[in-house]
Structure 1
Amino acid sequence: MTNLPNEYGQRPAKKKFKDYPTGYLHVDFAEVQTEEGKQYLFVAIDRTSKVAFAELHHRAKRVVTAEFLRRVLDKLPY
């Protein structure tokens, strides 16, 4: 769904974000091009507090991902 006006110039109604339980994390990663070459951006967002964590890594291996998640979980206040 887009927030663009329709042919009558009306915009769709804005929806509220869904409520999430404490501890719900959205985790994602993306391949990005930097001055140093190809890297991987790891991101975790706590849906309740909206706190975000991000790190760049040269590899996207299971070990790197697991270490990233451990660091994120260690920093959360709960």
Structure 2
Amino acid sequence: MEKIIAHDQPLNIAESNNGKFAIILKDLEKDASPPSWFDLPNKSVDRIYYKNDFLDHTFSEYYLWTNKETEMTYLYVHFFD
């Protein structure tokens, strides 16, 4: 995770106690078909790193976070042309 963060600067950060974190969580909840192993960010997540328009597409974004309890790191990528 540190390599991704270092490579993809500048990254935005949503802390768990701010409005952007809640907005990202709502966006993730809207996904119609997440895999069975996918866990949404919860109280065990302090921050979500995110980046918009990182691909040469009409729209692209990604969210990156680590669950402190399970030590799982998640990378959610969304784009369309």
- Class of the TM-score when normalised by the shorter of the 2 chains: 0.3 to 0.5
Structure of higher CA gyration radius: 1
TM-score of the superposition, structure 2-length normalised?
A: 0.32
